[in-house]
Structure 1
């Protein structure tokens, strides 16, 4: 082991009065590397870096000081903090020399050194969009508006991209209308189009069963409405898109989306490295006002997303629009930046939303950043309108790489196996993202600063759901369960890992009723306790907030606290309100078993779909 320079510490009274120095604008900032620590003797510790596994021997004094240098700050700032926090440290010059020695031994990493470690050249590969998939379900008026806005894009950029309509409509009249609208779009702009409705899904089913006959149960459940269909949801069309585009990139739109993409006037270049940074929100009186806020993207947005989706992070950072600036690292804990790796590939790229929120609850509105919060509660009339989240701008002011997506991506990198999702219910997008992180550990999603319009067919009242005790849906429960499994397995084979995930979920499905009921109860207790803690912190941090905001926060905290303490059946949001504990356990068992089997079968289905290529879609 290497022996890192030590410096003497004389314990005495704590000095809390040392003023923090004002750093020079161009002064380098340093942060302590993450490491495993093990005692060797009374005053010596083994310090093994997580990145690279370098081994050092540190004294207790040095280790104690290094612990105060976790955030990117100048050496002067670190010295001041060590003097103020650690008892008996009253020799700033000697402390500084010790920290300089730690930097020379790379136990303190400079901001420029960290950014340099992420550098990676672009790979010589051509990324092309296989198709734009549109999910539709019994809303032809919405589809008509989306296709009109997409037609404007296709004419402007002369792209002639393939458009595939995935029609999950129940009403035959709506299917006929949707098919006609797609034909009208093709005649107007000349793009190749394909329609996939109930009959086409049936033909796809037959073809897949010829290629993978032992996966019939999963094929039927993933792609078809039938006896095992529990509720509506976008997951069926999601899974169809993954199969029809296997091995390629594709874009996805919902029928209530609207183009063009826009950027908020406050949007900035570069990326935000902070994984805890929430999106920003701006509020408008009318949906129409939200849809036209900001500046329209001048370039082709599909190409802009392709420049990111499928690329390695290191190469993305070399693009002028996505540079990681030293200033953005200031105050960041290096241990919280583990998701930033030069070789991490972006598998999904996302837009924000302009118009109506895509969530059924607006609980997130009570955890906004300061600027968004001030606009949210500006006056009582505006507040009462804003809590329904019907006319908002929601997105990122600076592009943000993350490990998890909570809503539908815009562009998918489906060249390597992406997992299927639950065809039933809401939350299929965040469940798919959690499964993707399990299958491709260390992969990223990229939130861009653009927003896409979202116009729902009618006004939805979200405040009732927001104020009630938080009751996640089944897909949210399974998403969080999958997230808790991530990180403990070693294989780099995505297919093997997805089969393993199926086995893990299948193991939970095979548990006895008491265990399943206890698992659900523990989950609901955790998410409600988390809501209580977060909102109590918000309440205490904003003593000058308007009384109407305070009153609603109290109500949310009280309702979640009451539900947390009350003994009741662990019912998830998709299930009947009168389901008792035993019924909840069996509902969970059935859904878990279906998802588990689908994840075990999916690698074979995706593989045969990739081998078929364009023949799979053209044969429908």
Structure 2
């Protein structure tokens, strides 16, 4: 135990404080370590550093100085803050400076240089090979034709000769036949190796896996095929096929309504943004054509851009000039909020923005934009009425960043270590997958690059009706929020074990009596709506100068959610059909039990698929 910090700042009157020195913008920045405090006496305490576990004995006055130095600033700036914040210290500039110097020597104040060394401390990771580019398709031949056309241009330009796998979840024979024809045309145009996985191929794969992993036989049709109860919409079936067919390798995942090229925003810049609260940029365009032409097409191979990041460690990325963390970008950020930026952290997935149609089914997020973006959103009534449908916009970041989870479908994934399965049915499977991946691999990162992919849906969707209605989250968001807010901390390090623990908690949800099931649903809907109302009310209060049409719609959204909050109607989630209380109870039990069963058998399925390697894909 280090006890060298057991000294105290005297509060005596030693004369007037000296004038505040000018802040040197080139001076080193320092921030205090986060820790846990236990009292020893009326004057002393023990401070344990969370990151390292080291303990230090110090006076409470020193602890106050440490607490006021949480954000990266120069020592002179910290001194000024402490003098202004802690009563009685106005005349103790030299004493406060000595305290901070002592904290620096003991490593309790971390310099910007030391932090950057941590973030760049690379761990050698040899990325797994790329298995294939997987494309999810479902009854949209025209969209697939546009995507394959853009991939043809890509292959002709870069001669990458990648392998492509079409995962076809179509419900009609006409769509499936058209998809096969498009795939054959793509093969003739590019010479690439192609595989088609439709209904019959999925069923053969289910039968093969059921023989190899008998305990999964009953849940496999639900996981991988559109049959029986799983006839509902869901992108998770194709996602699960891709995860098994790429087990032990890396993969790229596209949807049929995507389009290349990747484009960067006009204000894109190199480097890495360490701010965990960085906001994406949203820009609105008059029509879809303008949105598709915005930004700059990237000159390099777009797949290699992502593959250069995924499967490596964060340190290997930030040690390069392209993704270096600038010292100045740390200013004002608390060290405790940057703990996720560890050089050894594996990059498990990469993300991108989008240009064209919004990737969301609701426009609620548009009413929570920062002031500068809100001005673009509401600049006149005609553009506002167009923008609320989110059919022609750009959404993304101007600088690379990292997060422990994400909201949208990744572009590239490192499946060399077990990634969890996705829920086969329902929307929002990407958000749930991300949250469960974070649970299975704590400390792993998803990196968002400052590029965007084209997203053009088959029709221009009417999002405003869903936006103005009461917020009713879907089942996948119910589970995602449960993982984030209600799970206890898991101690197991094995991803399979952690996934099994989640399954046990899901079975616990299903095991509640009728009153308990209703209470869980009502509590969740009340939490979701109350949280939304609070955030929107904060927006309304801070934007009194916003146009009246924006204010009127925002009030309408708040009121509709307020009415739903006090409603006695059955607590139905967004995916579910109209039902009474008994129907809601039944659907909650069925869906949580099915998802728990999938999580329980997934590690064995994934391990078998990894052993098969390329053979599993070649056998299709």
Contact 1:348 1:445 in 2 (8 A): yes
The C-alpha deviation readout for 1:73-125, integer Å capped at 9, x for no partner, is: 11222122112222111122221221121111111111121111122236262
Taking structure 1 as the reference length, the TM-score comes to 0.96
Q: Which residue of 1 aligns with 2:446?
A: 445
Residue 65 of structure 1 and its aligned partner are, at CA, apart by: 2.1
In structure 1, the partner of 2:408 is 407
Match of 1:71 in 2: 71
Find the counterpart in structure 2 of residue 599 from structure 1: 599
After TM superposition, the structure 1 = structure 2 runs for residues 104-119 of structure 1, keeping only pairs within 5 Å, are: 104-119=105-120
- Residue 454 of structure 1 corresponds to which residue in structure 2? 455
Q: Which residue of 1 aligns with 2:430?
A: 429
**What is the CA deviation profile of residues 38-77 of structure 1, one whole-angstrom value per residue up to 9, with x for unaligned ones?**
1111111110000111110111111122211111111222
Residue 486 of structure 1 and its aligned partner are, at CA, apart by: 5.7
1:378: which partner in 2?
379
Counterpart residue number, 2:168: 167
Report the equivalent of 2:52: 52
Q: Which deviates further from its counterpart, 205-214 or 371-380?
A: 371-380
Distance 1:99 1:257, change over 3 A: same
Q: Provide the rounded CA distance (Å) in 2 between the counterparts of 1:339 and 1:21.
A: 34
Give 3-state SS (helix, strand or coil) of 2:58's partner: strand
CA contact (8 A) 1:290 1:391 kept: yes
d(CA) in 2 for partners of 1:292, 1:378: 21
Q: Does 1:549 align with 2:570?
A: no
Report the 3-state secondary structure (helix = DSSP H, G, I; strand = E; otherwise coil) of the residue aligned with 1:303.
helix
- Equivalent position of 2:287 in the other structure: 286
Deviation at residue 566 of structure 1 after TM alignment? 2.8
Partner of 1:165: helix, strand, or coil?
strand
- Which SS does the other structure have where 2:229 is aligned? coil
Q: How does 1:519-538 map to 2 (within 5 A)?
A: 519-538=520-539
Question: Could you list the per-position Cα deviations for residues 540-572 of structure 1 after superposition, in whole angstroms to 9, with x for gaps in the alignment?
Answer: 222322222222222222222222233332211
2:83/2:93 contact within 8 Å kept: yes
2-structure distance, mates of 1:279, 1:21: 36
**Structure 1 regions of 5+ residues with no counterpart?**
none
Report the Cα distance in structure 2 between the residues aligned to 1:276 and 1:487, rounded to whole angstroms: 25
* 1:352, distance to aligned residue in structure 2 (A): 0.4
Corresponding residue of 2:580: 580
Q: Matches of 2:19 and 2:519 in 1, distance apart?
A: 52
Give the match for residue 562 of structure 2. 561
Counterpart of 1:95 in 2: which secondary structure? helix
**SS of alignment partner, residue 37 of structure 1:** strand
1:182 aligns with 2:183: yes
Tell me which residue corresponds to 1:222: 223
Could you tell me which residue of structure 2 aligns to residue 212 of structure 1?
213
2:489 aligned partner: 488
Check if 1:82 corresponds to 2:76. Answer: no
User: Deviation of residue 589 (structure 1)?
Assistant: 0.8
Partner of 1:23: 23
Alignment partners' CA distance in 2, 1:299 and 1:204: 36
- Across the aligned residues of Structure 1 and Structure 2, the Cα RMSD in angstroms comes to 1.8
Q: Separation in 1 of the partners of 2:149 and 2:487? A: 42
Partner of 1:361: 362
1:516-552 CA distance string (max 9 Å, x none): 2111111111111111121222222223222222222
Q: Residue in 1 aligned with 2:195?
A: 194
Cα deviation, residue 398, structure 1: 0.9
Distance in 2 of aligned mates of 1:275 and 1:70: 15
> Larger deviation: 356-365 or 93-102?
93-102
Structure-2 separation of matches of 1:152 and 1:300:
12
Contact 2:245 2:616 in 1 (8 A): yes
Quick check: 270-279 or 301-310, which moved more? 270-279
Could you say what secondary structure the match of 1:96 adopts?
Answer: helix
2:353 is aligned to: 352
Query: Which segments of 5 or more consecutive residues in structure 2 lack a partner in the other structure?
Result: none
Alignment CA distance shift 1:40-1:209 (3 Å): same
| DSSP-derived class of the 2:219 partner | helix
Runs of 4+ in 1 over 4 A off after TM superposition: 17-22
Paired with 2:11 and 2:563, the residues of 1 have a C-alpha distance of 51
Deviations 1:249-283 (A, max 9, x none): 01011001010000001111111212222211011
Q: Following the alignment from structure 1 to structure 2, what is the Cα–Cα distance between the partners of residues 451 and 345? A: 23
> Aligned partners of 1:603 and 1:548: how far apart in 2?
52
Name the structure 2 match of 1:616: 616
The answer to whether the 8 A contact 1:309-1:411 is kept is yes
> Are 2:287 and 2:392, in contact at CA under 8 Å, matched by a contact in 1?
yes
